Amino acid sequence: MFAAFCVLTAAKQTPGEQTVSKKHFIALAEYLRDTRGYCEAFTPAQLEHLANFCHAQNCAFKRERWLDYIAGKCGKNGGSR
């Protein structure tokens, strides 16, 4: 299902339009990690929904790795922290 949505999203992009890159995903995850201690701004379901959006922006996006990084389970490249 995600792959089909990604194909549809990519088809809507105009030539020369940039996709969201890994550095953008890491920056967003770091922001979410930093704000976690101050307030519970996002529920797990909302983070899942945001991860779905990120995957739709870039098919190479690794949802589980990104969610694990936000949760503090791994480093930003998936390895140990």
Amino acid identity at 49: H
Total structural domains within the chain:
1
Q: Is residue 63 part of a domain?
A: yes
* pLDDT tens digits along 6-61: 444 455 555 556 678 889 999 999 988 887 666 567 888 989 999 999 999 998 99
Task: Give the pLDDT confidence score for residue 4 in this predicted structure.
Answer: 40
Q: Is residue 78 part of a domain?
A: no
Range of the domain at 42: 2-9+20-71
pLDDT grade, residue 72 (50/70/90)?
confident
CA distance 29 to 59: 17
Q: Is residue 46 part of a domain?
A: yes
Task: Give the pLDDT confidence score for residue 63 in this predicted structure.
Answer: 93
For residue 5, pLDDT beyond 50:
no
Task: Give the tokens for residue 66.
Answer: 């990104």
Q: What is the mean pLDDT of residues 62-81?
A: 87
